[in-house]
Structure 1
Amino acid sequence: MDVQRSVLDRFDTSGDYLGRLGEAVAAARTAGLPVIYVVVGFRPGHPEVSPRNTSFGAVAGSGRFATGDPGAEIHPDVAPRPEDVVVTKRRVSAFAGSDLDLVLRSGGIEHLVLTGIATSGVVLSTVRQAADLDFRLTVLDDACLNADPEVHRVLTEKVFPRQADVLSVADWTKALAGSGG
């Protein structure tokens, strides 16, 4: 979720974040699991952004994350394939202002494996909403990034385990390979 050029530019990815994320995507594809990308995006002029919205108010009128903005593109190291679904959201949660719930339910998907930037943003908001919608959840902790490492640690070690299994990419891919998909 939100693995877009402009988002990644704000984070230190020197620890091979994109490599781990690529491993998770490859493992999902090998197991025959659908890969769904979630991006933040707006129409030209940002009509979806209220001036009262502190998260997105700064981008209103800037052209950022609007149709055609190169910074809104998914990073090419983990780019979607034609068979993958790309969902555009209008707020922090992957469900807010998107058709994600419709896509998941139409595909009979009941278990979500979540990754993304930022742990305290899209990942937290999506975990909470997905749990309330009765999805089974796994969060890949080392395929999530946050500007504050301590916030990331608290969320992945203390908050998320109340609603999700929290695993590393390596542990998840190993379990996935052992389960036969």
Structure 2
Amino acid sequence: MTQQALLVMDVQQVVVDRHPDPDYLPRLRKAVDAARAAGVPVIYVVVGFRPGYPEISARNKMFGRLAGASAAGGAGAGGEELATRVHPDVAPGPGEVVVTKRRVSAFSGSDLDVVLRAGDISHLVLTGIATSGVVLSTLRQAADLDFGLTVLADGCLDSDAEVHRLLTEKVFPQQAEVTTVADWTAAL
């Protein structure tokens, strides 16, 4: 039987705050609760960096601003810890794995692949913020690593509704099954 895991990606308080949607966290919570009840591992992925951001090149268009803010006296060591906390509405339970990544994909700069292979996990169920960021990048890399894939379309969120629609309706189905939280939980 295929062993699956639910990935909850970049659902950190600071990220959720930038993507206000009052229905998102309760819906995602249903997926998390159903996975736990069915014995499906829930793995959390957060983006995080060391104090001073030594992993970030000034050439990196997405993350380079953080390194510049740090050099100018911006966020300190305590800020990095706070920024990596998963939103309390869907926080990890005891013993659940939290993986820290250093780039957009959940695999980049993390030990996610090691965790998945050690758990004999061959199928990933993707959720997270943003659809056009971590979900897209992780889906592409996971497909190249030969994982089976499901995307919970309403378990993903993007600041651009049209980009979310295009990805979940046209792009993701080329490499993954795309379904809803309700349909996925009903099938567990």
Gaps of 5+ in 1: 177-181
Q: Which stretch has the larger CA shift, 55-64 or 130-139?
A: 55-64
SS in 2 for 1:166: strand
Q: Are the counterparts in 1 of residues 49 and 80 from structure 2 also a CA contact under 8 Å?
A: no
- Cα offset for 1:69? 3.5
SS in 2 for 1:151: helix
SS in 2 for 1:137: strand
1:33 is aligned to: 40
- Cα offset for 1:66? 6.9
Once residues 157 and 80 of structure 2 are traced to their aligned partners in structure 1, the CA distance between those partners, rounded to angstroms, is 25
Give the residue type in structure 2 aligned to 1:87.
V
Once residues 66 and 35 of structure 2 are traced to their aligned partners in structure 1, the CA distance between those partners, rounded to angstroms, is 33
SS in 2 for 1:87: strand
**Same amino acid, percent of matched pairs:** 69
Q: Are the counterparts in 2 of residues 40 and 65 from structure 1 also a CA contact under 8 Å?
A: no
Q: Are the counterparts in 2 of residues 116 and 122 from structure 1 also a CA contact under 8 Å?
A: yes
Gaps of 5+ in 2: 1-8
Q: Are the counterparts in 1 of residues 49 and 55 from structure 2 also a CA contact under 8 Å?
A: yes
2:130 is aligned to: 118
Once residues 28 and 173 of structure 2 are traced to their aligned partners in structure 1, the CA distance between those partners, rounded to angstroms, is 20
Q: Are the counterparts in 2 of residues 89 and 98 from structure 1 also a CA contact under 8 Å?
A: yes
Once residues 147 and 125 of structure 1 are traced to their aligned partners in structure 2, the CA distance between those partners, rounded to angstroms, is 16
1:85 is aligned to: 97
- Cα offset for 1:58? 1.1
2:14 is aligned to: 6
Q: Are the counterparts in 2 of residues 138 and 165 from structure 1 also a CA contact under 8 Å?
A: yes
SS in 2 for 1:154: helix
1:111-170 per-residue CA deviation (whole Å, 9 max, x = no partner) reads 000000000000000000000000000000001010100000000000000000001100
1:95-114 to 2 correspondences below 5 Å:
95-114=107-126
Q: What value does the CA root-mean-square deviation take over the aligned residues?
A: 1.4
2:6 is aligned to: none
1:66-108 per-residue CA deviation (whole Å, 9 max, x = no partner) reads 7654233100000001210000000000000000000000110
- Cα offset for 1:12? 1.8
Higher RCO (C-alpha under 8 Å, 6+ residues apart): 2
Once residues 14 and 84 of structure 2 are traced to their aligned partners in structure 1, the CA distance between those partners, rounded to angstroms, is 6
Once residues 13 and 58 of structure 1 are traced to their aligned partners in structure 2, the CA distance between those partners, rounded to angstroms, is 26
Once residues 67 and 135 of structure 1 are traced to their aligned partners in structure 2, the CA distance between those partners, rounded to angstroms, is 34
SS in 2 for 1:59: helix
Cα distance, 1:66–1:105 mapped onto 2, change above 3 Å? farther
Once residues 77 and 109 of structure 2 are traced to their aligned partners in structure 1, the CA distance between those partners, rounded to angstroms, is 15
2:181 is aligned to: 169
SS in 2 for 1:159: helix
